[in-house]
Amino acid sequence: MLSKDTFFELQWLMAKQELKHPRTSYGGSLNQRSKSSSVIDIHARVSGMHLGILSSNAKHISDWIDSVQIDLNTVDRWDCTTNTKALPEIGLRWNEYDIRALSDSTHAVYEFIVRNKHRDPVIFEGEYWMYDSMIDRKITNIEQLNDRSLLIISFPFMHRLEPRHDMNEILKRCCELGIPVLIDCIWLPLTNNIVKLENTQCIEVIIHSITKMLPLAGIKGGLCFIKSPVPSEMRVTEITGKVGAYVFDQYIRQKGYFYVRNSHLALQQKWCEILSVNPHELVFAGKIDNGHELSRFAWKQNGNIINLCPFYTHNDICTEYLKDKKII
Q: Cα–Cα distance between 223 and 241 in angstroms, integer?
A: 8
User: How high is the pLDDT of residue 239?
Assistant: 46
Peptide bond into 156 cis (omega under 30): yes
Q: Is residue 121 part of a domain?
A: yes
DSSP state for residue 291 in the 8-state scheme: T
Q: How many residues does the chain have?
A: 328
Range of the domain at 308: 4-64+259-324
Is the Cβ–Cβ distance between 306 and 297 less than 8 Å?
A: yes
The torsion angle over the Cα atoms of residues 40, 6, 22 and 31, rounded to 10 degrees, is -60
Same domain as 305, residue 172: no
pLDDT of residue 45: 60
Q: Is residue 136 part of a domain?
A: yes
Whether residue 95 sits in one domain with residue 48: no
Angstrom distance (rounded) from CA 90 to CA 197: 6
| Same-domain status, 111 and 132 | yes
- How many domains does one find in the chain? 2
DSSP assignment of 76-88 equals HH------GGGS-
Cα–Cα dist 296/160, whole Å: 17
User: In the prediction, which pLDDT does 235 show?
Assistant: 53
Task: Return the pLDDT at 29.
Answer: 46
Q: Are residues 216 and 94 in the same domain?
A: yes
Q: What is the pTM of this model?
A: 0.87
Same domain, 102 and 152: yes
- Is residue 120 in some structural domain? yes
Over residues 202-246, the pLDDT tens digits come to 999 999 988 888 887 667 788 999 998 877 666 544 546 788 899
Domain end position, chosen among 227, 254, 281: 254
DSSP 8-state symbol, 192:
S
- Spell out the per-residue pLDDT of the chain, length 328, in tens: 788 889 888 888 887 787 777 666 655 444 455 556 666 666 666 644 444 567 888 888 889 998 998 898 988 888 888 989 999 999 998 989 999 898 888 888 998 998 899 999 999 998 887 898 899 999 999 999 999 999 999 999 887 888 899 999 999 999 999 999 999 998 899 999 888 999 999 999 999 988 888 887 667 788 999 998 877 666 544 546 788 899 999 999 999 999 999 999 999 999 999 999 999 999 999 998 888 888 777 775 556 888 898 899 899 999 999 999 999 8
pLDDT of residue 236: 45
Whether 71 is in a domain gets the answer no
Residue 194 lies in a domain: yes
The answer to whether the beta carbons of residues 264 and 274 sit under 8 Å apart is no
Contacts of 33 (CB under 8 A, 6+ apart): 25, 26, 27, 45
Q: Summarize pLDDT for 121-172 with one digit per residue, the tens.
A: 999 998 887 898 899 999 999 999 999 999 999 999 887 888 899 999 999 9
Of the residues 225, 254, 283, the one at which a domain ends: 254
Q: Give me the torsion for CA of 270, 39, 158, 146, rounded to 10°.
A: 180
CA distance 201 to 54: 32
pLDDT value at residue 33? 55
Give me the sign of the Cα torsion angle 304, 210, 31, 4. Answer: positive
Is the same domain home to 99 and 179? yes
Q: What residues form DSSP beta bridges with 52?
A: 50
- Same-domain check for residues 151 and 184: yes
Which positions ≥6 away from 229 have C-beta within 8 Å? Answer: 98
Same domain, 32 and 90: no
Q: Verify that 155 and 60 share a domain, yes or no.
A: no
Q: Tell me, yes or no, whether 195 lies in a domain.
A: yes
190 and 267 belong to one structural domain = no
Point out the domain boundary residue: 197, 221, 254. Answer: 254
Cα dihedral 134→139→140→142 (10° resolution): -120
Alpha carbon of residue 203 to chain centroid? 19
Is 179 in the same domain as 97? yes
In a domain, 105, yes or no: yes
Torsion, Cα 264 251 48 301, to 10 degrees, reads -90
> For residue 247, is it within any domain?
yes
Kindly write down the DSSP assignment for every residue of 127-151, as one continuous string: --HHHHHH---EESSGGG--TTEEE
Q: What is the CATH number of the domain that holds 168?
A: 3.40.640.10
Same domain for 249 and 269, yes or no, is no
